[in-house]
Amino acid sequence: MTATETVKVNERELVLDILLLVTRDGVHCHLAMGQVLEKYQFLEKKSRAFISRLTQGTLERMIELDYVIDCYSKTPVKKMKPVIRCILRSGVYQLLYMNSVPASAACNEAVRLAGKRGFSGLKGFVNGVLRTISRAQASGELQKKYPDEKKEPIQAFSIRNSIPEWLVQKWVDTYDYATAKSICEAFLKERPTAIRVNTDKISAEELTEELRTAGVTVEPVESCPDALFISGYDYLNCLPAFARGDFYVQDLSSMQVALAADVQPGWNVIDVCAAPGGKAIHVAQFLWGTGHVEARDLTEYKVDLILDNIDRCQVENMSAKVWDATVRDEDAVGTADLVIADLPCSGLGVLHSKPDIKYNMSPEQMQELAELQREILTVVADYVKPGGRLVYSTCTVNRAENEDNAAWFADTHPEFVKKSEKQILPSDRQDGFYIAVFDRKR
């Protein structure tokens, strides 16, 4: 890519492409971001940071952005053309949350983008809505449009934190208002990248020194000696240590699965829903070159992701295969010292990195997922040998999928004893996660 071609790249246009992929075409946020940004890795760090911030922020704040737009637009957001809807959302996000962007630039670039995408007839509409919102924000009028938190606490909190009202109410009912508030606010806080050191290849101290020499900000994690927080890097693929497999990007809460499993050398392990393989590789690391980990998932695509990470991290005592976890594998019955069942779930604990989930999930889907989890647990429990262990985990914050399912499993499978369970709530350092450990009686 030449320097001339680089100049032609319009950052806001790339943001629009990602937003359309997510909101119109149904592509998952992290996949859409990766798909576009990987293509434009030649861009300067500042440009890619702007694209990431504007895209992620717009998706995180969509309920609030739509509310603000509806306050000042005669055409409701839901009735707008997808392109105009996305242009206005990203424009309003810049006005409300990006102080480094002049209001005039946010408005002018949105108008220019509308024309470039074939909506010249709506340039005046886009300009009028954004400039009216800009003036309302500057005068303080905009804040008066928000619901009163004392009179309408659920609606007010939903809009301020861009969490659907039904979900806010669910967490308030499950915990309390203060806890629900801390959960929702955690998703909107900036967070460093958590990585797990591949201690088979390098020590945490050696990796820290190498990364800091490369200009990366590195912070140790007291609760997990093999974990580090990193920030200030350009992009992962530019770090030689990442390419060599010296570390794996993994959230702190996800690392707790292998720690809770208390893996012993020589164990035979089956991870039934393993993609992209982080937990399985972590477990293999604790085997110290002994035993074996078989990582499974539903499709060739997902298994290829696992195989890529096995190869990058150079894990020798691990393999991967395509297998539907709902289908009983007779050859696996009674063979595993450890079964990891990190099952498909509503994903409500990972809204920090996958904000689109909250707009697409529903109570009905959550109930269906809880039932799917029970179906899979019933199948894979038979793979655990007497004296073996089953670890059930999800990346969600929902009793039906977590504590209720663990209680159901204990009641319906008396051959297992629940050893421990833990609901990790989202914070400014880690995702929400649930882990339950069951031991099979000898």
Q: Give dist(CA 74, CA 2) in Å, integer.
A: 44
Residue 4: the pLDDT is 37
Strands (E), 265-329: 268-271, 292-297, 318-322
Q: Which residues pair with 418 in a beta bridge?
A: 438
Answer whether residue 395 shows pLDDT above 90.
Answer: yes
* Same domain as 88, residue 29: yes
The answer to whether residues 431 and 398 belong to one domain is: yes
Residues 228, 334 within the same domain: no
66 and 104 in a single domain? The answer is yes
Q: Is residue 187 part of a domain?
A: no
> Which residue in 366, 305, 375 sits closest to 341, CA to CA?
375
Tell me if residue 395 is catalytic: yes
Strand partners, 341: 392
Contact indicator for 269, 292 with CB cutoff of 8 Å:
yes
For 397, counting Cβ atoms within 10 Å of its Cβ (0-12 exposed, 13-18 middle, 19+ buried), the class is buried
Query: Do residues 281 and 309 lie in contact, with contact meaning Cβ atoms separated by under 8 Å?
Result: yes
In a domain, residue 92? The reply is: yes
The strand pair at 292-297 and 268-271 is best described as parallel
398: containing domain: 252-440
CA distance 242 to 236: 7
Classified as helix, coil or strand, 44 is coil
Chain length of the chain: 442
- The answer to whether 50 and 142 are in contact (CB under 8 A) is no
**Residue 237 covered by a domain:** yes
Same domain, 256 and 207: no
Residue 429 main-chain phi, psi, to 5 deg: -125, -20
- Quick one: average pLDDT of 42-50? 87
Domain of residue 213, CATH code: 3.30.70.1170
Distances (CA, A) of 361 to 154, 342, 346, 366: 18, 19, 7, 7
Tens digit of each residue's pLDDT (9 = 90 or more) over 314-345: 999 999 999 999 999 999 999 999 999 999 99
The pTM for the full model equals 0.93
Q: What percent of the chain has pLDDT over 70?
A: 98
Q: Among the options 184, 273, 313, 395, which is catalytic?
A: 395
pLDDT in tens, 124-158: 999 999 999 999 999 999 999 999 999 999 999 99
- Mean pLDDT value across the chain: 95
Q: How many CB atoms lie within 10 A of CB 373?
A: 23
Are 77 and 205 within one domain?
no
Residue 232 DSSP one-character state = S
Averaged over 295-321, what is the pLDDT? 97
Same domain, 263 and 392: yes
User: For residue 280, what are the contacts with CB-CB under 8 A and spacing of at least 6?
Assistant: 269, 271, 274, 293, 295, 306, 318, 340
State pLDDT tens for residues 278-298: 999 999 999 999 999 999 999
Same domain for 240 and 280, yes or no, is no
Measured distance CA(107)–CA(110) in Å, rounded: 5
Question: Looking at the domain assignment, is residue 289 inside a domain?
Answer: yes
The total number of structural domains in the chain stands at 3
Same domain, 200 and 268: no
Tell me the pLDDT band of 6, cut-offs 50, 70 and 90.
Answer: very low
The rounded distance, in Å, linking the Cα atoms of 284 and 111 is: 53
Same domain, 287 and 234: no
CATH of the domain at 62: 1.10.940.10
Q: Give the CATH number of the domain where residue 414 resides.
A: 3.40.50.150
